Each structure stands twice: as C-alpha cells, then as structure tokens.
Structure 1
C-alpha cells in the first residue's frame, strides 16, 4: 500500500483525546483505530500482536537473523489533539508543490510568507486540510511510517534484522500516553518515537513541563448592593494573568526560551479556574517560573485578606536529555543513518514533549524522529508525503546499520 493511502485511511478515524475524561483511553474512538492496526499488523506477519486493556497496541516483527543486533522499538501515538476537531477530515492532496499560497477554505490560506516551513517542501507532494479541521499528521504520519516500514520488511525477507518492537499509544496529546505502557512487554533495548516535524530533524531534549491550576474564590454579591463587598473572581483572574511576565507567553518565545501558556479559563463572579502549562528546557529556570505563580498567589491573598487564590502544581514530564546523555550511541546512530539516506541531520530542542520523554525516565531510552508534519493541532496542519517516504527509508537504515555493525559486515 502506498504510504499516502495508508495515512489517508488512518486520518479517517476520529481519535481526539479528552483532557477531562477519567477513562483510559480517554475516548473510546481511539480503540477503533487500535483494533484496525492490530488486524493490519497481523496481516503483515507481526507476532505477539495485541491491544492492552488500556488501549496500547503492541507487536513484534520477529528476528530473521538469529537475534543478532539490538532490539529496537518504534512508537507513535494514535490520538489527535483536543484543540481542534478531528472529525470528518477532508484532506487535500497537492502534487509537486510549487511554492505558492494554498487556499484551504474561505479565509484559511497557507501562505509561505507566514508559514515559512512551506519553503522547505517545494517540489514535494503534500496533504493539507480543507481549513475546517486538523489533519492528524500528529501523529498518524508516524504510524504510517512505522507500518510502511513493517510492510517493506514483510515483503523483503532478505532484509536481515533482529526483533523489532512496535507500539502505538493513546492519549499522548493529553499527557497520559505512557501511564500504562508496559516496558517489560515491549522488551526493547531502546526505542524511537516517530512524532515530529521536518524529517531532517531529530530530538533528544525537550521541555521540562508542569501544569498549574489556579482557582480563585470570590464573593458574589448582587451588583446593586456590591460596593465594598463584591470580589469578582473573574476580575481577579485577569489581574493574576496580567501579573505574570508578558514576555514569557508562548507567542513571544522560541528555541530554548521557556513560557507559561494560559490554555483554559472558566468562571463566574463566585469562582474562576485558570489552567496553565509551564515549560522550560532548563529545570532551574522552570522552578523560577513556578515561583512566579506562588508569589502572585501570596500577594493577592495578602491584598484581599483571605485565601482568595489557590495554586496547584503538577509535574507532567521532564527533559529526556538528562537520561539520554548516558546513551550517546543511540543519538549518534541516528545521525549516521540520516547521512546515509541523504538527509541533513539537525538536532533541534522540542518545544513540547513526547511519549519518549516519560519512557526515558521509566527506563526505555527514547529519542524522537520527525515525520514531515507541520503546524499541528489546527487547520493549517500539513504533511509532506515525500518526507514520510524518506522516514520509512530512515527507519530501515537504522535497523540495517545496527545489524551490519553487530555482524561487522561492510557496506
């Protein structure tokens, strides 16, 4: 099957996850794709294929070289972001992109002057949205790359390899992708998440990440008799947000610069809840950002004379660089394989996180590789079919290099 057809099939499944769900996976629709993948993996000759009770899909491409080489794992996630609709996706396929503006829908236009990554994919075949939904390249492009790799290995038994482990996780977008990941069942020496952007980029460091919940309890009084009595929690919430450093909002940051992002706000005069994500590659700088929230809490509580503001802080994931620095060979072999297939390896810090960050701390070293997807989580998302094809080639080369190195076979 062509990789683009495989990808188009996967995005036909609506697999949005849900921040507020208490089930695992957070949405039942993710299991529909999981069941489809289980059947597809069995057809392609994988063994030990199953979906766990928590919606994680596992399978093994069995060794055909008497178990020489490392056991490498490849992981992608099935869910799409709750930030934009993933239902009834109507993709557009663009052949040999000419570098011009792409009209998606009404006023939704992919302009290479604004969306500058388009300048990297001139001459590529692309898939875009129609401007009404996200696309789902994050991370169904990763699934398509892994499954296309598996199909190649099924059709080419002369391609020698050790056991290759594959897993597809739910709920990565809501920070729960590895809560029930069974590393012992997966049984890999190390793994790579396939979940990123430009295929020339690879990632072994990511943000340290916290969630901060701010709850403000005001005093609701009829506005006709509110003077010197009412404390409007909505007004206090605006003050709280304005007291945080404006230049640390994500729209003013890039690269290694950290940020705090207000991603949900809901309330009434009586009670308001603010939800933030706080990110920084430097853990000490992150702690300073967290302390900003605590200082504002103390200031406002002192100003109003009661426990007006409550702040709750949750760790989400940490920078995998602190683990992967002890496994330099895992990173080095990516660089070698990229050069072997004609890519230009570029190490980029992830301004976010992956399942690999948590897995690395759980004992499975797990850098991240790109997929060719860009501008995810919204209607401007697109993927390069050309880069996806190169992603398959890269995975095969990683496997081949590992086996040849272990067998000391020149090539």
Structure 2
C-alpha cells in the first residue's frame, strides 16, 4: 500500500535541504509549508528563546476522524556535520550520500515516513484519533530542543519516536539515565626543574584516582567514561589544574547512583590525601526508562510489526533520544528502528526496502490504534 516511489522522492528532497544543528531555520520553514499543505494544523513553540538554536520545535496535528486515542510520532529536524550540500545517490536499492557528507537519514528518514503515513491515512480514509507529529531541533546536541518543548501543547499521552538505526523491527524497551560530570582538580604550581617537590601535580592526583576507578562497561546496564582531560601551561611547570569531563549511563537508578558515588569518592579521597582541592559538578542530562512486554506502546508496536509480517525485537539502548524526555515528562514513548545504518559518518546509508517497511509500520500503528475506538 505504501507509495514507494513517492516515499523515496520525499526522502531525497528532504536530505538535500541543509539543517545542521543550530542551523535548522530553512528546513523548518520547508516543514511548516509541507505539513500545512497536507492539511495539518502547525504549531511553533518559542524554544529558540531558550536554546539559541536556528528554529523552534514544531507540533503538527491532524484532527481525529473517530473516537480513538490521540497518539504522536516524533523525529528531529537537525543533523550532525558534515551535512551541507548532501547529494543522495541510489545504487542497488540503497540510498547513500556521495561520500563527502552524511546522508541525514538520521532523522530525515523518520520525517519522510511521517509524511508518507499522513498521505496514506488521507488517501485510504483510515479512521484515526488525533495524530500529532512533533519535530524537534537540536536533538544531536544533547536533546536540547525537546527539553525546551512545552509538552502541555500536546493532546496525545503516548507515542513513538522514529529515530533508531538497524532493520525495522526493533523496539527500544530500555534507555539509560545519563549524567555528565565536570571535575576540576587544583594542585600547586612549582618549577619542574628547580623545585618540583614544592608542587602538587593535579595530573598525578587525577591519574592515581583514575587508576583505581571502574570505567567502561561496569555491568550489563551501566557504563562510565572519562572523555576529556585538559590541563597544564608548560612542560617546566608542575601542573596546577586539571579539568575533566566524564559521563555515567545506566538503565538502573541504583547502579547510576552507585557509579557516580564511586567516582566522586575516589577523586575526593585521592585529592585530599595528596593535598589538593577539587570541585565536582554532576549534571543529569536526561532520565532513563525501562518497559516490558505489557507496556502499552510496546504492545501496539509489536502487533503492528506482526501485521506487516515482522517479528518484534526488544532492545535496550545505551544511548538517549527524544523518547527519554517524553518519558520523563509522563508521555509513554518508545523508539522504533527505521532502517538506517552507519549514522554520523559519510558512509551512512538506508536500504529503500527498510525505508518502505518503516512507513508500513507507522501506518499500521495508526490503523491499530484507530480500530480500538471506544
């Protein structure tokens, strides 16, 4: 039932409109016009005032035709770099870039699926409750756009983010809570050649603490990493300050708290023993979620996949998405795979048959919910 040629044409058009993070304005204007032309009400929030990015988030709404639940689909309009001047190419039923840029299937494949779903719903006169389509800015920059989005604008209480790679069929049933840590260690400067004994090396403090620290894969649900270490001014000066940036992610709230405590205590204990000073700032980036087979959105997606001949694959993700913020705000949301591969690289690609399956899945979800009207 999906119009394959139209879907591909839409996708090819979308990826050729530049929208790198913080520069989404031109693409946002296109989306406003496109969704209005499809007959949807288009609402634009005022998140630019909070984010400083190039556009506001969009909420596009198709009114209900039956007394079924309101549901939403969500994608993001921004892309990573290099995402300017994308030239999509089709080879052996697969869409690639020309190798000099990303393809931007993350997440314009999701937006193409949204558009095709709306077109199918209207052409097939498919009964549906209120359908909402949230398109955020700044997802690739720490979910900044959706964090600034006013959820009270929405009518739907649950929905589906179209923003996971891999073959269509995967349903995200778990995603971690994510914290960023900013660690600043202060020692004492001294001439490294004449009187190093009078110095306190912030680097040595950091190294001693890190050598005792559990990092990497902590357990099945938890990871931790120190990704940035900066410090020093010259080789002949004992390093006085070290600045570090780290992160902790875990599906388990207990493991999340325990890992942060473990890292803080080692840094603080070692710093005190060596006569330095330390400040540690923990910033929770987003909360996690964990679903099971009985979770409503998981049941809907599983039934929809079965209806199009696919078996559901329940996956626990190590990363975050806009779904994390929707769930934090009380809107039950899972993230669905839509077929793209090797994202955030110039080797990104999407098989056309996977793009087609993604559209079939989204349309089938609308049908599934639409047939459960009271």
- Picking from 179, 192, 198, the partner of 2:147 is 179
The answer to which structure has the higher strand fraction is: 2
Deviations 1:298-349 (A, max 9, x none): 2321232131x3221111222222xx56972322121111000111211111
Deviation at 1:165, TM superposition (A): 0.6
- Picking from 78, 96, 105, the partner of 1:128 is 96
Distance (Å, rounded) in 2 between the aligned partners of 1:389 and 1:222: 66
Count, aligned residues? 354
| TM-score, scaled relative to structure 1 | 0.78
Q: For the Cα contact (< 8 Å) 1:320–1:356, is it kept in 2?
A: no
Residue 224 (structure 2) pairs with residue 260 (structure 1): yes
Distance (Å, rounded) in 2 between the aligned partners of 1:263 and 1:90: 33
Q: For the Cα contact (< 8 Å) 1:293–1:311, is it kept in 2?
A: no
Residue 272 (structure 2) pairs with residue 302 (structure 1): yes
| TM-score, scaled relative to structure 2 | 0.86
Structure 1 partner of 2:46: 53
Aligned pair in 2 of structure 1 residues 270, 202: CA closer, same or farther (>3 Å)?
A: same
Q: For the Cα contact (< 8 Å) 2:16–2:88, is it kept in 1?
A: no
Distance (Å, rounded) in 1 between the aligned partners of 2:102 and 2:187: 38
SS at match of 1:405: coil
Structure 2 partner of 1:74: 73
Distance (Å, rounded) in 2 between the aligned partners of 1:265 and 1:230: 20
Structure 1 partner of 2:137: 170
Deviations 1:71-107 (A, max 9, x none): 11111112234xx533333444322xxxxxxxxxxxx
Q: Which runs of 5+ in 1 are unaligned?
A: 18-26, 96-124
Deviations 1:346-370 (A, max 9, x none): 1111111121122122121111111
Root-mean-square deviation (CA, aligned residues, Å) is 2.5
Residue 218 (structure 2) pairs with residue 214 (structure 1): no
Aligned pair in 2 of structure 1 residues 216, 73: CA closer, same or farther (>3 Å)?
A: same
Q: For the Cα contact (< 8 Å) 2:19–2:79, is it kept in 1?
A: yes
Structure 2 partner of 1:345: 312
Structure 1 partner of 2:50: none
SS at match of 2:126: coil
Distance (Å, rounded) in 2 between the aligned partners of 1:35 and 1:392: 23
SS at match of 2:311: coil
Distance (Å, rounded) in 1 between the aligned partners of 2:293 and 2:321: 19
Structure 2 partner of 1:100: none
Deviations 1:251-298 (A, max 9, x none): xx8xx3421133333333443322122111122122221122112212
1:64-143 matched pairs, under 5 angstroms: 65=65, 67-81=66-80, 84-95=81-92, 125-143=93-111
Aligned pair in 2 of structure 1 residues 246, 330: CA closer, same or farther (>3 Å)?
A: closer
Deviations 1:211-258 (A, max 9, x none): 111122343344443511344445544554444325538xxx8xx342
Structure 1 partner of 2:128: 161
